[in-house]
Amino acid sequence: MAGIKSTDAQVQERVDKCYDMRYNHGTRQVDWIKWCNENYDDKSEKTYHTYWTKSTQKYTDGWKEKLNKQLDPAVNALIGLLASDDEKIRQRAVDQIFKLTGNEETKVAIEGGFEVTLNWGDDAGILAE
């Protein structure tokens, strides 16, 4: 079925169609592949799966953009606090910026112990020649 290479515009049109069917009409992946075979029938199923994957990325990118637009005013206000003379306020602003942008430092408490035995001398496991 493969043969003629699609243009970027054709690929994008198909990704957009997949996005619409998937997120606006609830189409499942198996139904998308079936629809492609019935309506396009010019590419492999692997290519149709690629369109599905690209529609997922489009969805994810759209949500990230919306979230960033909502977070921008808060981050800008916190950036203004970085000019404060109070060190605690500056540090808290930095901490909040990291949290809002998804760069929060994760701290994990690790407990445990270990024992080290050193053996110096003739029996140290070194073979002499």
How many domains does the chain contain in total?
1
Whether residue 31 is contained in a domain is answered as yes
pLDDT in tens, 63-97: 888 888 888 888 788 888 888 889 998 888 888 87
- Asked whether residue 94 is assigned to any structural domain, the reply reads yes
Q: List Cα–Cα distances, 108 to 1, 18, 105, 111, in angstroms.
A: 53, 42, 10, 10
What pTM, to 2 d.p., does this model score? 0.56
Provide the domain limits for residue 30. 8-100
In a domain, 30, yes or no: yes
- pLDDT for 62: 92
pLDDT in tens, 13-61: 999 999 999 999 999 999 999 999 999 988 889 999 999 999 999 999 9
pLDDT, tens digit (0-9, with 9 covering 90-100), for 111-129: 777 787 777 766 555 555 5
